[in-house]
Amino acid sequence: MSLTLDSQSSRGTDKPAVAADTAQAPFTLQGRTALVTGSGRGIGRAIAKRLAAAGANVMLNDMDEGLLLEAEADLKHPDRVRHITGDLTDPSTPKAVVDAVLGAFGSIDIIVNNAGYSWDSVIQKTTDEQFQAMLDIHLVTPFRILRAASEYIRETAKSESASGRRVMRKVVNITSIAATDGNPGQSGYSSGKAGVIGLTKTLAKEWGRYNVNVNAVGFGLIETRLAQPLNGDNANLQMHGHEIRLGVQPTMLEAMKNSCPLGRLGTPDEAAGAVLFFCSPLSDYVTGEVLICGGGMHF
């Protein structure tokens, strides 16, 4: 294992609402600590950026140290942002990452299980290794991270309850419309993403007693390297000795855009907005749910 850690509205009055009041943010995450996996680029970085802007401490995680350094600088909150590199599919890494969050900030209040990639083939061409790789990153990894965080979450919630306090914590697992609808060529990816929905609903029932909201956000086509037009210039993904081709055939991508009611791909920042809702006090009475952020598109 290779792991590196870096250090009120107005009512009943004829007077208009005061501008300063209406401009107030609906919530703050100041004093809260978030772990966002797969946050070196794309949706993960956009999620981390939203959380940091809302006042949270943020631990970034990815496999690429260079990307994490770029992301850390992009978030512009050096006093509240740290990063840790490591391959989350290594069985020992998830616990090491959780321990690093607790070591750096002393708490963990928000967990966003975002890390993932696609390795696609029709079923007759899908190897056991390929299928298992999709389960490992999309389902086994979130399971291990949540298991590693469970002791802190349980013991802290018990202590808070004993002192008469209720502190809501948040888990957001990232899934996909490939999980809810299925998608040709993605038996492994769809299975892993469907599995995490089951994990989400189970943990919502197990952890409700600890004041944890556990929800999932399922994305459609978002403007990331996984949804770029496939051509000879694409940068492929190097993973465990395999070169994985990234992107979508241009004709297929155009057909998907046309089938989307909004007629376009979503942006990483739009995707992050859906996640931010589940990380915020606005969702304190929402748990065990799957929010689809896909522009109305279904496969």
CATH number of the domain within which 273 lies = 3.40.50.720
**Is 70 exceeded by the pLDDT of residue 21?**
no
Q: What does residue 81 show for φ and ψ, rounded to 5 degrees? A: -125, 130
Name 172's Cβ contacts closer than 8 Å, sequence gap at least 6. 110, 111, 112, 113, 215, 216, 217, 275, 278, 279
pLDDT score of 20:
44
What number of other Cβ atoms are within 10 A of residue 24's Cβ?
A: 10
Q: How confident is the model at residue 259 (pLDDT cuts 50, 70, 90)?
A: confident
pLDDT in tens, 166-196: 999 999 999 999 999 999 999 999 999 999 9
Residue 243 domain-assigned?
Answer: no
The one catalytic residue in 117, 189, 210, 285 is: 189
Q: How confident is the model at residue 201 (pLDDT cuts 50, 70, 90)?
A: very high
pLDDT score of 299:
75
Whole-angstrom distance, CA of residue 169 vs CA of residue 280: 9
Q: What percent of the chain has pLDDT over 90?
A: 77
Q: How many domains does the chain have?
A: 1
**Is 60 exceeded by the pLDDT of residue 17?**
no
Q: How confident is the model at residue 84 (pLDDT cuts 50, 70, 90)?
A: very high
Q: What does the CA dihedral 95, 77, 225, 130 come to, rounded to 10 degrees? A: 0
- Cross-strand partners of 169: 212
CA distances from 29 to 33, 57, 299 (A): 8, 8, 35
What number of other Cβ atoms are within 10 A of residue 183's Cβ?
A: 16
**Is 50 exceeded by the pLDDT of residue 12?**
no
Q: Which helix (H) or strand (E) holds 14?
A: none
pLDDT score of 18:
40
Residue 8 domain-assigned?
Answer: no
Between 152 and 247, name the one with better pLDDT: 152
Residue 86 domain-assigned?
Answer: yes
pLDDT in tens, 231-243: 655 667 777 878 8
Contacts 24+ apart (CB under 8 A), 133-137: 133/89, 133/188, 133/239, 133/240, 134/188, 134/189, 134/191, 134/192, 135/188, 135/191, 135/192, 135/195, 136/89, 136/192, 137/88, 137/89, 137/192
Q: How confident is the model at residue 280 (pLDDT cuts 50, 70, 90)?
A: very high
Residue found under tokens 């995680």: 61
pLDDT score of 22:
43
Q: Which domain holds residue 208?
A: 29-159+167-224+267-293
Residue 237 domain-assigned?
Answer: no
pLDDT score of 9:
35
- For residues 294 and 249, the answer to whether their CB atoms sit within 8 Å is no
pLDDT score of 237:
78
pLDDT score of 11:
35
Is residue 210 among the annotated active site residues? no
- For residues 35 and 111, the answer to whether their CB atoms sit within 8 Å is yes
Residue 257 domain-assigned?
Answer: no
Q: What radius of gyration, in Å, describes the C-alpha atoms of the chain? A: 20
Residue 153 domain-assigned?
Answer: yes
Q: What is this structure's pTM?
A: 0.89
pLDDT score of 243:
80
Residue 286 domain-assigned?
Answer: yes
Tokens representing residue 23 in the block: 């401009």
Mean pLDDT of 115-140: 96
Q: Classify residue 182 as left (phi > 0), alpha (psi -120 to 50) or beta.
A: left
Residue 248 domain-assigned?
Answer: no
**Is 70 exceeded by the pLDDT of residue 266?**
yes
List, in sequence order, the alpha helices (H) in the chain: 19-22, 42-53, 65-75, 93-105, 128-135, 141-162, 177-181, 187-207, 250-259, 268-279
Closest of 88, 108, 110 to residue 1, by C-alpha: 88
| Segment among 3-7, 55-59, 76-80, 129-133 with least mean pLDDT | 3-7
Whole-angstrom distance, CA of residue 140 vs CA of residue 47: 21
